[in-house]
Every structure is written in C-alpha cells, then in structure tokens.
Amino acid sequence: MENSISKNCIAIFQQSIKDYHKYDRADAVMQNPYESGSLDYLLYLKNWIDTVQWHLEDLIRDPIIEPLEALKLKRKIDESNQRRTDVVEYVDSWFLEKYKEVKVQPGATINTESPAWAIDRLSILELKIYHMQIEAARKEASEDHRKACQQKLNILLLQREDLSVAIDQLIEDIEQGKKYMKVYRQMKMYNDDSLNPVLYNKREANDKAS
C-alpha cells in the first residue's frame, strides 16, 4: 500500500524519536508539528509520550538511585501510563468517527485489538528498533555484543513488517465492513481515588479525622 496507515505511523514515530533525541531529556518540551486534533498530531503525541517514558524507565533502573528519586520517577511513569492510555483511546475515537458511516457486512467480526492498540505496539516497536540500532553499531561495545544486537534488530525489523501488514489489513477490513470496531475504555483504577482502596481509605480516614 503506497500510502498505508502503517507507513504514515512509522514516519511520524521516527520523526518524534529524532526530535526527542535533539534534547535527550525527559523534561524536554514537545513541539508537535501537526494540526491539533488531527490523526498525525495524535500519533506524534503518542510516540513522544512513549519516548519520554522509555527514558524514565531507564533512569529508574539505576541500581544506586536514591529512594526518593525513584519514588518521584515512579509517579511520573504512572502519570505517563495514564496519558498513553488516554491518547490511544483518542486515536480509536478518531477511527470510530472516520468509519462511522461504513455499512457493516453480514458476518463481520471484531478484531482482538483495536486499531489504536495495534498502533501503540508499532510505536513501542519503533523505539526498540531505534535503540537496538544504536547498540548494534556501538563502537565501545564488544563484537559479540554488536552481533547479538544485530540479530535482535533483524527480528525487530521483521516484527515491524508483519505488524504493519496486520494493521493495514485491519484498517482495510474496517473500511470494507468486513470487521467492525468498538472502543473499550481502559478504566484504569490505580489513579482513581474512588476505585483505588489505598487512596479512598486514606481519604475517608482523613475525612473522619477532620
């Protein structure tokens, strides 16, 4: 497919990763070049969040990190996970709106995952490819390390190819009414003070104390 959704996603993800690494700081301010509300804007935002979180995950695994700093990072990662989920749902809502007039064919089936969650995997995969390319070419590393990373990179590139085909086929099937989609809100519970027992028990105890 000349102008497939997967090719567009990969190009935007690569742009986001490149833009982030101009600064290579988790607190860098995103400069999204796309029109707000457009699919391309959401894709860039999605990958930017993933890229920032990738580096937060690196930082928190420092074996000599101070406990307080680790806690701060954990809070940031939790917040990032929530934002990531929110953006995935925005992307799915975009697809729902785009294909809302498609007539679903008799016998149409629902996919095991929505287009946006498949695209989410493609975003993470692009980050893996970027960093594995660095490791496969890192001069300071041993030859064995570089060879092992090149083998892993080859597998990641094959995964990208297979996942791209699957995403494009899913979108084509939705366009033709062969498949239909639903958006199941993730309803994460740990950030909701009415659902997380640690949070609501603490709140209720504070209410009683006051």
Q: How confident is the model at residue 178 (pLDDT cuts 50, 70, 90)?
A: very high
The domain containing residue 94 runs over which residues? 5-209
Asked whether residue 154 carries a pLDDT value surpassing 80, the answer given is yes
Residue 179 has pLDDT above 60, yes or no: yes
Tokens of 126: 């692009």
Instruction: Please state the domain count of the chain.
Output: 1
Contact between 193 and 199 under an 8 Å Cβ cutoff? The reply is yes
Q: Residue 129: its pLDDT value, please?
A: 98
